[in-house]
Amino acid sequence: MDNLVKLNYYLLPYFQITMDKEKIWSNVLENLKLTLSSANFATWFNRTFITEIKEIDEIRQITEIGCPSSFISSTVENRYYALIKEAIDQITKKKNDLVFVVKQSKEPLNKNPKLANEPLFKEIKEEKTEMENALKKIGLKADFTFDSFAVSSSNQMAHAAALAVAQTPAKAYNPLFLYGGVGVGKTHLIQAIAHEILKKNNQAKIIYCMGEEFTNEIINAIREKATKEFKEKYRSTHLLMVDDIQFIAGKNTVQEEFFHTFNAIWRAGGQIVLTSDRRPEEISKLEDRLRSRFEGGLIIDIQPPDFELRTAILLIKAQQKNIQLPMDAAQLIASNITSIRKMEGFLTRLISEVQTKKVTINPDLITAILGQTNGLINPQKLVKPKEVLSTVANFYNLRIADLTNQKRDKKIVVPRQISMYLLRNDLKIALMDIGRFLGDRDHTTIMHGVEKITRLLPDSEDLRVDIMGIRKKLYG
């Protein structure tokens, strides 16, 4: 009995510390859930945990946080250090220095024993609800919600503004004007606003349309002498969302009607949300009075997604398609494809390959598909092989002869391999032809060079920046 008491005496602190670590981290995660979207939370904090807490003195301690990979570890530390520290300090009543390490946890955040036996692909059948019917009637995508929107520095302000509009329509920012290039998430964000409003009131009167649709509808209304019905439809809406509003520029009758529609909704306390590929002052042939109305609200630029955001988006898209995409696979794709739309197309192709050939997702499969489908060139500009060699050589202060000769100097090898990579992935040139362009090299040498650059891209920010710079010079 005495020995048992002693054993309990020595083991109690261990169990207390273990229990405290789990309880502390559980509370931290609950706090993070309130701040982050569910998609970001699941992407970055699944399988994270506190590995160790070391007391320095009565008011300070070191908290070590385990992450499943180095990529997640660095991302969580860079983006969420302050949020995590604030939560742990508040819970422990001590000042914490955080250390992030790569360690595997035993359990995922969402414990579900059934998942282990489920197939890679599964069909999800859900009954139609009033919400789904409302989404279909308006023309909204079911997955374009705030929860499925990945946030980073390139779109953080736009996300915050859209969320504010969704929570307090016509009071936060009216109009809200989002602009940016193709595939940066403009449509996703404005549809997420509608989703949020419909959650509170699925009877809310919402119109979502493209600038082209608005144009065609007013033209048809004039032709069919139905302008009264058109005006009643648009001017009585609670939320008007128009994608690609720049399309109405230069069309006098359309701009006239949109101006009056805008004023009627605004005066009645309705919310207006617009997207465009450029700022209002850059839209040519846009009437000054409309430009003035657009500039009277909040205008936000959404930048193209960086590597980390592209990776997060891929993981979210894969989750939506009910497929487990390994982190290293997502990184490999995100480092080779910069367009979100092209990434989605690649993911569809990848899923098709996996289903058809009954294989697992691995870097070799992704590398093989990248070599076939990585369409990153600008279709408006045809680039010749010699232009690629010339641009790469100029970028690295070399001569084309340096890339084509047989020398293997360190400063030449990587630029030469980048040339191979661009000729293969962007221009779709056969390996033997690339070998001929680069000094009659064997096709296996070209294959090795392409694969090496493909594998280095996920881990090398310098390499990604260089290739992006070369592509900008090539394609504009």
Find the CATH number of the domain harbouring 13: 3.30.300.180
* Model confidence pLDDT, tens digit, residues 300-317: 999 888 888 888 888 888
Residue 108 is assigned to a structural domain of this protein = no
Q: Which long-range contacts (CB under 8 A, 24 or more apart) does 464-470 make?
A: 464/307, 464/335, 466/395, 466/418, 467/418, 467/421, 467/422, 468/338, 469/395, 470/391, 470/392, 470/395, 470/418, 470/422
- The pLDDT value recorded for residue 18 is 43
Residue 356 exposure: Cα atoms within 13 Å on the Cβ side: 7
**Picking from 109-113, 224-228, 398-402, which range would have the lowest pLDDT averaged per residue?**
109-113
> Where among 373, 402, 431 does a domain terminate?
373
Element (H, E) at 305: none
- Domain co-membership, 298 together with 200: yes
Residues 458 and 328: their CA atoms lie apart, in Å, by 8
Cα torsion angle, 225, 229, 230, 231, sign: positive
Given 282, 302, 322, the domain boundary residue is 302
- Domain count of the fold of the chain: 4
CB contact at 8 A, 72 and 43: no
Percent of the chain with pLDDT over 90: 25
Residue 433 lies in a domain: yes
- Please tell me whether residues 15 and 161 are part of one structural domain: no
* Per-residue confidence (pLDDT) for residue 27, from 0 to 100: 87
Angle between helix 385-395 and 461-475 (nearest 10):
130
Residues 290 and 158 in one domain: yes
State whether 423 and 455 are in the same domain: yes
User: Residue 373: its pLDDT value, please?
Assistant: 53
Which tokens sit at 417? 């391999």
pLDDT on residue 12:
42
Identify whether residues 203 and 311 lie together within a single domain. no
- The answer to whether position 23 is within a domain reads yes
Which of 141-150, 172-181, 187-196 comes out lowest in average pLDDT?
Answer: 141-150
Query: Is 79 a member of any domain?
Result: yes
Ordered strands of the 271-276 beta sheet: 206-210, 239-243, 271-276, 176-180, 298-302
Q: Are residues 288 and 313 in the same domain?
A: no
d(CA 451, CA 445): 10
Is 117 part of any domain? no
Domain boundary among 76, 102, 128: 102
pLDDT digits (tens, 9 = 90+) for 67-102: 887 777 877 887 788 889 888 988 888 898 898 888
Give the pLDDT confidence score for residue 428 in this predicted structure. Answer: 79
Average pLDDT over residues 430-459: 87
CA 313/CA 308 separation, integer angstroms: 9
Interacting residues of 31 by C-beta distance below 8 A, sequence separation 6+: 83, 87
Contact 89, 22 (CB under 8 A): no
Burial class of residue 281 (count of CB atoms within 10 Å of its CB; 0-12, 13-18, 19+) = exposed
Query: Which residue, among 76, 97, 75, has the nearest Cα to 85 in the 3D structure?
Result: 97
Per-residue pLDDT, 371:
65
The pLDDT tens digits of the residues spanning 124-134 come to 344 357 777 88
User: Given pLDDT bands bounded at 50, 70 and 90, which one contains residue 372?
Assistant: low
For residue 131, tell me if it sits in a domain.
no
The verdict on residue 110 lying in a domain is: no
Q: Are residues 147 and 293 in the same domain?
A: yes
Q: How confident is the model at residue 476 (pLDDT cuts 50, 70, 90)?
A: low
251 and 144 in a single domain? The answer is yes
Helix locations, 337-430, DSSP H: 340-357, 363-373, 385-395, 400-404, 410-425
At 40, the amino acid letter reads N
What pLDDT shows up at residue 106?
A: 53
**Residues in contact with 75: Cβ distance below 8 Å, sequence separation at least 6, in sequence order:** 44, 308
The pLDDT tens digits for 399-438 are 999 999 988 888 899 999 999 999 988 887 888 889 988 9
Q: Are residues 220 and 259 in the same domain?
A: yes
Q: How far is CA 109 from CA 215, 298, 445, in A?
A: 48, 38, 45
Confidence of residue 262 (pLDDT cuts 50, 70, 90): very high
Which domain covers residue 193, as residue numbers? 137-302
Of 55-59, 277-281, 346-350, 360-364, which range is least confident? 360-364
Higher local confidence (pLDDT), 364 or 178: 178
pLDDT at 38 over 80: no
Task: Give 399's DSSP letter.
Answer: -
pTM equals: 0.60
Average pLDDT of the residues of the chain: 82
CA distance 245 to 276: 6
Residue 294: alpha-carbon gap to chain centroid:
27
Residues 145, 158: one domain?
Answer: yes
Q: Which amino acid, 409?
A: D
Question: Do 265 and 343 lie in a common domain?
Answer: no
pLDDT band for position 243 (cuts 50, 70, 90) = very high
pLDDT recorded at residue 271: 94
Q: Which of 278, 233, 274, 292 is nearest to 257 (CA)?
A: 233
**What CATH number has the domain bearing residue 420?**
1.10.1750.10
User: How many Å is the maximal CA-CA distance in the chain?
Assistant: 98
Tell me if 112 is assigned to some domain.
Answer: no
Based on the domain organization, do 85 and 40 belong to the same domain? Answer: yes
